[in-house]
């Protein structure tokens, strides 16, 4: 089975641009997560979908960050407009949640975003 796929792997944007990051979760998984990783803040949760329903939209990231789950096998993260402080690695993860037990999250390779 293919793991979590993320595209592009690298993205360079000018300040003010709109960028869209893409994620394909592991086939059959029903939970999907978007994280941002920086050296200073570490891993921060941006969005969390459970069976395509948005469970958490990351609070402080609401205004310029919008994640969508178009179908069970595809998700996008839009940043609009981008700012230099958005430079980070964006990670997508998915899991197969059964009942109330914790399910392991499988992570994609990440998209490294640089905003000039």
Partner 1 sequence: GDSVTQTEGPVTVSESESLIINCTYSATSIAYPNLFWYVRYPGEGLQLLLKVITAGQKGSSRGFEATYNKETTSFHLQKASVQESDSAVYYCALGDRRGSALGRLHFGAGTQLIVIP
Which residues contribute to the site for partner 1 (CB under 8 A)?
Answer: 3-4, 31, 33, 35, 42-43, 45, 48, 50, 55-56, 91, 93, 95, 97, 100-110
Measured distance between the N- and C-terminal CA atoms of the chain, rounded to whole angstroms = 37
Work out how close the CB of 48 gets to partner 1 at its nearest, in angstroms, rounded to a whole number: 6
Work out how close the CB of 50 gets to partner 1 at its nearest, in angstroms, rounded to a whole number: 7
Which residue shows structure tokens 């969390």? Answer: 48
- How would DSSP label each residue in 49-110? EETTEEEE--GGGTTTEEEEEEETTEEEEEESS--GGG-EEEEEEEE---TTS----EE---
Work out how close the CB of 110 gets to partner 1 at its nearest, in angstroms, rounded to a whole number: 7
Q: In angstroms, rounded to a whole number, what is the distance separating the alpha carbons of residues 49 and 29?
A: 11
Residue 3 DSSP code = -
Work out how close the CB of 105 gets to partner 1 at its nearest, in angstroms, rounded to a whole number: 7
Nearer to partner 1, 20 or 103 (CB): 103
Nearer to partner 1, 17 or 22 (CB): 22
Q: Contact 49/94 with Cβ under 8 angstroms?
A: no
Nearer to partner 1, 44 or 68 (CB): 44
Nearer to partner 1, 77 or 82 (CB): 77
């Amino acid at each position: 089975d293919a793991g979590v796929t993320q595209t592009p792997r690298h993205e360079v944007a000018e300040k003010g641009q709109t960028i869209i990051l893409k994620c394909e979760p592991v086939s059959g998984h029903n939970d999907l997560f978007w994280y941002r990783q920086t050296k200073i803040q570490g891993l921060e949760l941006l969005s969390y979908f459970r069976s395509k329903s948005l469970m958490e939209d990351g609070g402080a990231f609401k205004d310029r960050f919008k994640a969508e789950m178009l179908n069970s096998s595809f998700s996008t993260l839009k940043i609009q407009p981008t700012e230099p402080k958005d430079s980070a690695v964006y990670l997508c993860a998915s899991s197969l949640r059964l009942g109330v037990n914790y399910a392991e999250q499988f992570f994609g390779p990440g998209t490294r975003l640089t905003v000039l």
